[in-house]
Amino acid sequence: MIEIKKIWHYLTRYMDSFLLTGILILMAVGLIVLYSATGANMSRVSNQIINMLVALVVMWLVANIPLQQIMRLALPMYIVGLVLLIGVALFGEINNGARRWLNIGVTRIQPSELMKIAIPLMMAWYFDKHEITLRLKDYLGATVLLMLPVLLILRQPDLGTALLITASGFYVLFLAGLSWRIIAGLVIAAAASLPVFWSIMHDYQRRRIMTLLDPSQDPLGAGYHTIQSTIAIGSGGIVGKGWQNGTQAQLDFLPEQSTDFIFAVFSEEFGLIGNTILLFLYLIVIARCMVITANASTQFTRLIAGSITLTFFTYIFVNMGMVSGILPIVGVPLPLISYGGTSMVTMLLGFGILMSIQTHPKLVKT
Amino acid sequence: MKRHVELRNHPVELHKFRFRLAICACFVLVLFLILYVRFYYLQVSQQEHYYTLAEANRISISPLVPNRGLIYDRNGRALAQNYSAYTLEVIPSKIQNIESTLDELAAIIEITTTDRQRFRKLLKESKRFNSLPIRSRLTDVEIATFATNRYRFPGIEIKARVLRQYPEKEVVSHIIGYISRINDQDLEQLERNEELNNYRGSLHIGKIGIEQSYEKQLHGVTGFEEVETDAAGRSIRVLSRTPSIPGNNLILSIDLGLQEAAEKAFGERRGALVALDPNNGEVLAFVSKPGYDNNLFIGGIDQENWSLLNNSIDRPLNNRALRGVYPPGSTFKPFMALAALELGKRTPEYSMSDPGYFSLPGVERRYRDWKPGGHGRVDLHKSLVVSCDTYYYSLANDLGIDNIHNFIGQFGLGKKTGIDIEGEVSGLLPSSAWKMSQYKQKWYAGDTISVAIGQGYNLTTPLQLAFATMIIANNGKAYLPRLVKQIQNSETGDVEDIPGKLLYSLNLKPRNLEIVKNALVDVTRPGGTAAKAAINASYTFAGKTGTSQVIGIKQGERYNEKSINERHRDHAMFIAYAPAENPKIALAVLVENTGTGGSTAAPIARQVFDYYLLGKLPEATVAKLNESVEEHVHDHL
């Protein structure tokens, strides 16, 4: 009995039970929707359970590492990530017209995934180093650290990941105290550079934006996804069509229904009531993450926690936004619910860091 | 120094950070609110709209094609029927190289050159996404062979179809007509009539004959099936079903036995025969020789057969009974005789001397009688019995063209009868007004002379002649000739009779009718022009022979049958009814290019009467039937 208690204590020592509960509930919702979205395909569901277990183990491991050690990893991780990205640009495998994967002999990896964690870590580390003397040049330095990998990812091209990484980096900049004047300047500069961006964009990217503005322009091509997912959500109504009863999902009108568009399946079958509950669950998890962030003791932990929290939120917003037809279609999964191992691991790795911040003794910097 | 700064700044930094974090929290809440508003808009405000779209996505409506109504003769013998068969069909839009695909297909399933020609013609006339048959009536072996090779032929499918068949082929082809694939003109027509919806899924439509004219009755009402389909178009389940209502069956007034008897009587000769029931206008037989195999047209006719039919000198596609126009010749005379009596231009007792020709006063030209030297003294009775031309030349001159036109017009000559199949032509019964409007010329007295004996401008169809004969036979009643006697509701089996329609009655003096009708009976008795045909008949029949000129004979020349091209020889005509005292059948016979009515047309009428009144089959048929009975007996021994 005492042994079990000891083991339990050992296992949960660095877990934040509030956050863990929220994550597990969302995962359970994810499995229920996935079962319906795959047409009761148990093998897909058990695959996803394995993905979740692996991700939970990763989270547990990370949560057990004190932040000082994680901090030491920031620079090497960033450099390795950057080298791999350059490797992709030079020797990457082309898949569906994009060069995103790198074959490193044993397996194929997608270095941009690694950068989703490495960049906020690196930037938080960078600001932590320059904590006392934060000047404009330090923000410029951080921006360079951000833009190098982002440009490499844009070249692949992978607009969705580039935007998400830029967002995660920008959150660090913002939380580190980037002056309002510069933010205003950036906004104006961004608006001014839109036409430039438009001209250097790939055709498929332009098409996606045009399709967002008017999906009916191309109902069988690029607009098909948006039209079908909007129909699925709208036809769900207030109470939804019921689990496994969504016609859009069950009769395969929805594209990518177990991955990027799984929210449409959920929304069609559980209606506005389901959406309300899901948004609420996400909001609770985000709120808990915000509390952890607010209580973090060092510049590094604050910045990394804030960035992870806001990036988590960004995934949710961009995914739901694109599925419901108010944002262009970028390949962003719905955190903790979409099918897929990589994003699950990345996401829980972030939560692991948050738990580590919350549960390790808060050291005052000396 | 460093420590000092840190100590002083730390709470400030933390405060500043928390302020920024609070801004982020607001940012999160605002964006979630935007999402929520979007969900509310989609799922509450627009729910109905999107629900409709989702339903339209999953539900596809497929037509259930009704079975076409069947066609029977008056005794229930099938004239048009349906059978189920498997067809091999090609969707051209799904195939890159049709010719080479067909070559490959021909290696596993027999495809004749005729099949190919027919298919090519169809291909030219159809839209590319239509499914076109390349073979029909696949055998079980062929179906199995194709099924195992199916993967090699995307765009080619086996389909179960209900196909039309005409078992009697050329015997009734000019009555039944045929159905064929719906073409662009048909579609336009259907759209104009707002019937397009009822033809969703239908491949065929009646093109000619009964099949065309009774299309509405025969087609039926298309049903619909709501099927749930997935994104790939596969059917998942049937949601609802409105069954189709099959087309109504038609029972024709045609007596197939009589029709066959008439066909046999014609032998290989060309011509037409229309037989009506004088008591109600029912068409008992409707023959146009030669006929054609109307089955050829159903799936689309191939080029070879088409040009064979279309270019044949015998013109088998021409419906002679309905659309052929011929001078009525001497069959015109009974109507002239009635006109003379009714209009008081001749009395029965009046007689004239026939020198063998007639001349208009003060004109040298002679209008010859068919009999050189003439018939001696001729009264009205004799003029019909021996078919004296001179009598009618002089009569016509006294009547004048417009009296002739007005009186004989009442018998329906030169007008459409209004029979219940489309395509009838009107022919021509000339008048002075007609000549003026047509040629801008006044009518000359000489023009009337040739009209008197049914030549000149006179043109009638065999159907019109039968109609006019019926009116004499039944003492003045003009019944609408019609082919469909009954319509059977194919669901309930209820049979609805179509009553005879009396168009109008002529008010003819009974005595005048009697005089003419007595003369017509004597035409078939010794001394009459049709005496030979009536030898030993056990009933009395009345008739009038006629000869219809194909080419004009010049003044001073004689018609010499042997010296004239066969196609330019005279047509033989005969109108008749029987039994004379209580007519049950009235008919008109035309035999092309065979000379006089008495020798070739009247015997055909005799055989038809024998069959209809006595149940006696024409000799050729009798022999054949005996054979088959013997075979039958053999089978059972």
pLDDT in tens, B112-162: 888 888 888 878 776 666 778 888 888 889 888 888 888 888 888 888 888
What are the residues whose beta carbons fall under 8 Å from the beta carbon of B225, sequence distance 6 or more? B61, B62, B63, B64, B238, B240, B241, B242
Question: How does DSSP assign B431-486, residue by residue?
Answer: -HHHHHHHHS-PPPHHHHHHHHTT-TT-BB-HHHHHHHHHHHHTTSEEEPPBSEEE
Q: Which of A47-51, A87-91, B111-115, B228-232 has the highest mean pLDDT?
A: A47-51
Q: Strand, helix or coil at A75?
A: helix
- Exposure of A16 in the CB half-sphere (CA atoms within 13 A): 23
A171 to chain B, any CB pair closer than 8 A? The answer is yes
- Amino acid found at B590: L
- CB-CB under 8 Å, A324 with B51: no
* 3-state helix, strand and coil shares in percent for chain A, rounded to the nearest 5: 75, 5, 25
d(C-alpha B550, C-alpha A54), whole Å? 102
pLDDT given at position A291: 95
d(C-alpha B23, C-alpha B31), whole Å? 12
**pLDDT beyond 90 at B37:** yes
pLDDT given at position B632: 40
**pLDDT beyond 60 at A268:** yes
DSSP B245: B
- CB-CB under 8 Å, B24 with A310: yes
Q: Strand, helix or coil at B327?
A: coil
pLDDT given at position B177: 94
B54 to chain A, any CB pair closer than 8 A? The answer is yes
- Amino acid found at B520: L
User: Taking the C-alpha atoms of B124, B128, B130 and B136 in order, what is their torsion angle to the nearest 10 degrees?
Assistant: 50
DSSP B231: T
d(C-alpha B151, C-alpha B104), whole Å? 13
Chain A (280-299) residues lying within 8 Å, Cβ to Cβ, of chain B: 282-283, 286-287, 290, 293-294, 299
Show the domains of chain B with their CATH numbers: 61-252 (3.90.1310.10), 257-310+320-621 (3.40.710.10)
**pLDDT beyond 60 at B15:** yes
- CB-CB under 8 Å, A324 with B20: no
**pLDDT beyond 80 at A106:** no
What is the tally of helices (H) and strands (E) in chain B? 22, 23
- Residues B215, B205: contact at Cβ < 8 Å? yes
- Mean pLDDT of chain A, nearest integer: 87
**pLDDT beyond 90 at B537:** no
Reported as a pLDDT band with limits 50, 70 and 90, residue B555 is low
- Residues B98, B90: contact at Cβ < 8 Å? yes
Does residue A198 or residue B353 have the better pLDDT?
Answer: B353
pLDDT, tens digit (0-9, with 9 covering 90-100), for A117-129? 899 999 999 988 8
Greatest Cα pair distance in chain A = 68
B93 to chain A, closest Cα gap in Å: 19
d(C-alpha B166, C-alpha B298), whole Å? 10
What separation in angstroms does the CA of B496 have from each of A110, B250, B483, B501? Answer: 80, 10, 14, 15
Alpha helices in A130-251 (DSSP H): 136-155, 159-175, 180-200, 203-213, 223-236, 247-250
pLDDT given at position B630: 44
Write out the H or E segment, with its range, that includes residue B522.
helix B510-523
- CB-CB under 8 Å, B35 with A320: yes
Write out the H or E segment, with its range, that includes residue B626.
helix B619-636
Orientation of helix B333-342 relative to helix B401-409, angle to 10°: 100
pLDDT, tens digit (0-9, with 9 covering 90-100), for B49-76? 999 989 888 887 778 889 999 999 999 9
The residue assigned the tokens 């005409």 is B166
Neighbours of B491 (CB within 10 A): 11
A288 to chain B, closest Cα gap in Å: 11
B225 to chain A, closest Cα gap in Å: 18
Taking residues B94-109, what's their average pLDDT? 85
d(C-alpha B580, C-alpha B520), whole Å? 9
pLDDT given at position B119: 85
pLDDT, tens digit (0-9, with 9 covering 90-100), for A136-166? 788 888 888 899 999 888 888 787 888 889 9
Q: Is B65 left (phi over 0), alpha (psi -120 to 50) or beta?
A: beta
| List of E strands, chain A | 93-95, 98-103, 108-109
- How buried is A159 (Cβ within 10 angstroms: 0-12 exposed, 13-18 middle, 19+ buried)? buried
Reported as a pLDDT band with limits 50, 70 and 90, residue A366 is very low
- Amino acid found at A44: R
